[in-house]
Each structure stands twice: as C-alpha cells, then as structure tokens.
Amino acid sequence: GENVEQHPSTLSVQEGDSAVIKCTYSDSASNYFPWYKQELGKGPQLIIDIRSNVGEKKDQRIAVTLNKTAKHFSLHITETQPEDSAVYFCAASKSGGSNYKLTFGKGTLLTVNP
Amino acid sequence: KAGVTQTPRYLIKTRGQQVTLSCSPISGHRSVSWYQQTPGQGLQFLFEYFSETQRNKGNFPGRFSGRQFSNSRSEMNVSTLELGDSALYLCASSRGTLEGEQYFGPGTRLTVT
C-alpha cells in the first residue's frame, strides 16, 4: 500500500521567515495530495491541496509544489505568523472511483517564534 | 454551512466494554470516513462509507465496525475495548465524488482504563 514520509518532524522559525515541509510518497498511482493543519484540541483542517495534473498551487501565503517524477510534494508558508504554529500533515490518495482512503505522513510540529 | 460534528467529544471506558461514536457530515456530503489518531501511529484509516455501503476498509481488527444511515450520519463501534484503543477518533466528510475533499470533525477522545 501507499507510504508517506514527512520531514522534518519539528520545525522552529522566526516570525516573518518562510517554512518548508516536505513529503514523499511511494505509490505512483496516487493523484491527490492534501495538506492539513491541526491545532491543539481540534480536528485537522484542510488548508490546501494539489492534484497530479498540476505542478504548483498557491493560496495567499501558502503554496504547494508537486514533483510526480520524484514522487514528492512540499508545503511552503511565507511570512510566517505565530498563528501558523500547529502540526501540519501531508497526505496522499488515489481519488476517484472507490478510493477515498487518505494515507498521512507523521506530521510536522511548526513553531513560529514572535 | 455547519461543519462535521462528532459526539461525544470525550469518553472514558473500561477494558472489555464496547463503545459507539457518532458523526454527522456536512449537509450534502454522502461519504464519511473514520480515522484513528495516536501519538505513536499517527492518523490511520479505519473505513469509509458512501450511501450506506462500506467502500473501503483499513487494516484494523473486526472489533472495529461502522455503519451509515440514509441521512448520511455514521456511527462506529468498537467492541471488547483494549487499552491500546485509547485514541482520538476522527471522522471526515466528503461529497464522495472525484473532486471530493475530506473535511474533518473535532474528534472523539476515547480513553480506555
């Protein structure tokens, strides 16, 4: 089955700096890659996603890039703010048909220091 | 639009008991998936229901089961609870179509003593 590796497990940055989290996946048939942000005591919140027919997607300070050949995708957060502090999870799945199982990375604890 | 709701939010049970958790998806969503989150194993897929039918199943023992009702609400049941079942149980709602993103509820924190 699919395996998703996520790095780093912890990341500490200064407010205003950029943060980058990287994930690799094993199943070349995976075609949907969402990113979730989980704050303490809450469920994961979908923040951005990308499909395999797109190489990059941006939403304000957040961007995701996908390299299908290398089977890796990354989350980029620019101009970080203290409220960006949370655990971030990447995931992969084969969307469509009857495949709605998300395989998650182990998460990255991002701390933004004021 | 109301988000995904899960009840109860917290639950304490004794080893050997059974438990039922409930999930109400976003209005119009027909797919409900369940995940178990633990510090050691992370987020793991349990099963997914669409139109009252289980479409996908993860690698969990048969003690974990679920169902979905005609209004898309879903329940999961864990029988003969073990200490290792202590976890945050999350449900995610989706349209269930090709472009269906999954939206998570706040989870039910289950503690088995």
- Tell me how long chain B is: 113
Of B42, B94, B98, the CB nearest to A104: B42
DSSP class of residue B97 equals: S
**How far is CA B84 from its chain centroid?**
16
* 8 Å CB contact between B36 and B59: no
CA distance B101 to chain A (A): 8
- Tell me how long chain A is: 114
Residue type at B23 in one-letter notation: C
CA distance B82 to chain A (A): 23
Subunit contact A100:B101, Cβ cutoff 8 A: no
Contacts of A34 in chain B (CB under 8 A): 101-102
Residue A98 has pLDDT above 70, yes or no: no
φ/ψ of A36, rounded to 5, equals -125, 150
Contacts of B45 in chain A (CB under 8 A): 101-103
CA distance A36 to chain B (A): 10
Q: Is B85 helix (H, G, I), strand (E, B) or coil?
A: helix
Residue B111 has pLDDT above 90, yes or no: yes
**pLDDT tens-digit profile of B5-50?**
999 999 999 999 999 999 999 999 999 999 999 999 999 999 999 9
For all residues of chain B together, what is the average pLDDT?
Answer: 94
Tell me how far apart the alpha carbons of residues A74 and A21 are, in angstroms, rounded to a whole number: 6
Contacts of B93 in chain A (CB under 8 A): none
| B57: exposed, middle or buried (Cβ count in 10 Å: 0-12, 13-18, 19+) | middle
**pLDDT tens-digit profile of A5-46?**
999 999 999 999 999 999 999 999 899 999 999 999 999 999
* 8 Å CB contact between A52 and A92: no
**pLDDT tens-digit profile of A58-81?**
999 999 999 999 999 999 999 999
Subunit contact B55:A98, Cβ cutoff 8 A: yes
| Adjacent-strand bridge partners of A17 | none
* 8 Å CB contact between B24 and B73: yes
CA distance A37 to chain B (A): 11
Of B43, B106, B107, the CB nearest to A89: B43
